[in-house]
Structure 1
Amino acid sequence: MNRLTNFLQQIRTKIAFFPTIISLAGLVLAFLMIYLEQLDISTYLIDVAPGLVIDDTDTAKTILSTLIGGLFSLTVFSFSMVMVLLNQASSNFSPRVLPGIISDEKHQFVLGLYIATILYNIFILISIEPTDNSYQTPGFSVLIGIILTVFCLAAFIYFIHHISQAIQVGNILIDIHKRTKSEIEHILDNEKGKSFDFPETEYWEKYEITKSGYFYGLLKDDLMKLCKENNTQATIQLFKGQFIIDGTIGLLTKKPIDEELKRKIMDTLLFSHEELIGENYIYGFRQISEIGVKAMSPGINDPGTALNTIDYLASLFISLMKKQEYEYVNDADGNNWVYTKCSKFSEILYNVMATYRQYCKHDITVMRKLMHMLKTLSSHVINSNQLTDIEIEINELREDAKLNIKNKRDLSKIDAEFISWS
């Protein structure tokens, strides 16, 4: 990933991205139509299809004014619906799912269409200023404004449908699972056929990180280019998702580097103050876990959702087990120039299980589901270390069940095969 790609990804997640682009398109269309009206396009259409052209100035102004007022109301209502959606998602699921909902391009496209049509109609209305008796009302431009408004009404119907679907927890889980699994599979594809050779770094030069925030990735192309130009290898001892404080030792280089090169390398490290999955699949595990735990809270009391989150986590863990414990940045010849740390399978599994065991240890159904997930994972292990990690979590789950579930019959079912009854 280079700087341009990173910049596009950053602005792509902003709710104003598509609305801004589409609004500019509406302005361009308005000026284009004003220019065409100066070429008497409406006169030509009156001769060809008079029924499509409004030839009365007062009628045209009334129609455009009505359309502008109606679209303003539609826009305000739609924005209010988005705010309600965000508030409900934050309260019922997790505040960390909000960036994913905000970046939904369907919402952005609809809002952008509203604003573009409003701007178009405003500029066409302003252009209706007769100067002499030969003035021709811009009837064709008004017709385009009416057509765009009809598209806005259709988009509003779609918006209501989509927003009613987007607030459903099942669709939120599907979206998080899809994005997280896509990122893991992207990493797996990059690992195919690659070398994992890298020298020991014990005696390498150590440098402080001069930035702060949540570390979420690298500008890999730029960093590799710097390493090749200066003939040195580097290690980034930071985990994705880790909050970095200025002064943390996190950069190691094979040979000493000057302050200028150090500054350039620091510029390739990406930090953020919000948790988007992007390159960091860890956020996906965390968001799904938080939704599951929130569902078990007394205020929501929705164990069915907790069971669903465990299914999605099982799918992600199976993919995660195929991934290497380290990531490398290599060139076209397969030479590794940069090594970065990654959260290990054992650490992610422990964090997920510790969260669920703490808040769901009283519910036999959820505990059985967790046991079923762990046994499923044990049949997909890639190495013995993963099997050992899973067995440790199975034993911990049994211990928590014994301490918190008093019914002997329930305890006897903890290892039984889980059959969903939903």
Structure 2
Amino acid sequence: MNRIKNILHLIKSKIAFYPSLIALFGVFLAFFMIYLEKVDISAYLMDVAPGLVINNTDTAKTLLSTLIGGLISLMVFSFSMVMVLLNQASSNFSPRVLPGIISDQKHQIVLGQYIATILYNIFILVSIEPTETSYQTPGFSVLIGIILTVLCLASFIYFIHHISQAIQVGNILTNIHKRTKSELEKIITGQQDKSFNFPEPENWEGYTLSKSGYFYGILKEDLMKICKEHEMKLVIKLFKGQFILDETVGILSERPLSEKLLNKIMNTLLFSEEELVGENYIYGFRQISEIGIKAMSPGINDPGTALNTIDYLTSLFLILMKKPEYDYLSDKKENNWARVNSAKFSEVLYNVMATYRLYCKHDITVMRKLMQMLNTLTLHVVNSTQMTEIKLEIEQLKIDAKANIENKRDLKKINVDFISWS
């Protein structure tokens, strides 16, 4: 990612980006139609297709005013309903799923279409002059306004259908899983044919960061250019999503850095005041886990959803096991110039299992499902370290099960293959 791409990515991630673009299109269309009216396009259409043109000024004004008021009411109703559904999603699933629902491009496009049509009708209404004799009534422009409003009604029906689907837990889990899987596969593919040769950073010079916030990425091309220009290798000791405090040691260099060079390197590190899901696959594991844990709370009591989350986590863990331990910045000649920390399989597995064991240790069904997940992972290990970590989690799961499940028959079935009965 370079600086320009990062700026464009940040702009596109804003909720107002697509609505603003579409609204501007509505304004430009209005001025274009006003220009066409000045060259008497409505008069021409009156001769060719008089049935399509409204030639009465009062009728045109009344119709446009009605369309504007109706669209504003429709927009308010649509997004009032969204707020209610988002509140439900936050209560039943997790507040962290809200940005994904709100930032859905389809929702933004519908909102932009509403705003664009409202602005178009307002400008056309204002363009109608008070005297009927001095200016032809913009009949064709009014016809376009009617067509745009009909399209808004069609979009409203689609919006109702889409938001009702998007708020269902199954679709939420599917979208999170798809996004996380895509990011993991992209990382694995990018590192697949690369060399992992990199010197161990023993006795390398450490440098503290003067920034604070959530670390979410690197301007890779810029950092690569700096490393090649000065013929040095770097280690970025930061994890995506990690909250960085001032004076945190975040950079290791094989040679001393001047203050000017250090500032250049610092400018390639991206920080934000809020958590950005973006390309961080760790958020996928966390979001799915939080949905599963929330489903097991007494207020919701939905173990079926918890079981579904474990299925999705199993799928993601199988991909995560293939991921290299570190991310590398490499040039076209496959020379590694920088190494970036990334969350290890053992760390992600422990965080997920620790959370589920704490909140689900009393439920034999969920515990059996977790055991099945761990047993499945043992069949796909890439190295002995992964096997050791998985076996450790299996032992911890058995310890919690024995301590919290009193029924001896249930305990005997903890290691039996889980068969869904739904």
Same fold (TM over 0.5): yes
Residue aligned with 1:301, SS: coil
Match of residue 105 from structure 1: 105
Residue aligned with 2:206, SS: strand
Match of residue 254 from structure 2: 254
1:169 maps to 2:174: no
- RMSD, matched Cα: 1.1
Match of residue 407 from structure 1: 407
1:38 maps to 2:46: no
Deviations 1:37-76 (A, max 9, x none): 1111111111111111111111000000000000000111
Please show how residues 316-395 of structure 1 align to structure 2 within 5 Å.
316-395=316-395
Structure 1 position 156, deviation (Å): 0.4
Match of residue 197 from structure 1: 197
Please show how residues 303-314 of structure 1 align to structure 2 within 5 Å.
303-314=303-314
Is the contact between residue 23 and residue 113 of structure 1 (CA under 8 Å) also seen in structure 2?
A: yes
Structure 1 position 316, deviation (Å): 0.2
Match of residue 292 from structure 2: 292
Structure 1 position 237, deviation (Å): 0.5
- TM, length-normalised to structure 1: 0.98
Distance change in 2, residues 1:132/1:67 (3 Å): closer
- TM, length-normalised to structure 2: 0.98
State the AA in 1 paired with 2:311: D
State the AA in 2 paired with 1:45: L
Residue aligned with 1:153, SS: helix
Structure 1 position 314, deviation (Å): 0.2
Match of residue 274 from structure 2: 274
Runs of at least 5 residues in structure 2 that lack an aligned partner in the other structure: none
Deviations 1:96-122 (A, max 9, x none): 111111210011010110000000000
Residue aligned with 2:329, SS: strand
Is the contact between residue 57 and residue 132 of structure 2 (CA under 8 Å) also seen in structure 1?
A: no
Separation in structure 2 between the aligned mates of residue 147 and residue 190 of structure 1, nearest angstrom:
47
Matched residues, percent identical?
73
1:138 maps to 2:123: no
Separation in structure 2 between the aligned mates of residue 284 and residue 213 of structure 1, nearest angstrom:
20
Is the contact between residue 224 and residue 338 of structure 1 (CA under 8 Å) also seen in structure 2?
A: yes
Structure 1 position 260, deviation (Å): 2.0
Residue aligned with 2:235, SS: strand
Count of residue correspondences: 422
Separation in structure 2 between the aligned mates of residue 416 and residue 294 of structure 1, nearest angstrom:
26
Structure 1 position 130, deviation (Å): 4.5
Structure 1 position 131, deviation (Å): 5.1
State the AA in 1 paired with 2:420: S
Is the contact between residue 213 and residue 274 of structure 2 (CA under 8 Å) also seen in structure 1?
A: no
Residue aligned with 1:216, SS: strand
Separation in structure 1 between the aligned mates of residue 13 and residue 406 of structure 2, nearest angstrom:
48
Deviations 1:326-345 (A, max 9, x none): 00011111111110111110
Structure 1 position 133, deviation (Å): 2.0
Deviations 1:146-205 (A, max 9, x none): 000000000000111111111111111011101101100000110121111111212222
Is the contact between residue 329 and residue 337 of structure 1 (CA under 8 Å) also seen in structure 2?
A: yes
Is the contact between residue 13 and residue 99 of structure 1 (CA under 8 Å) also seen in structure 2?
A: no
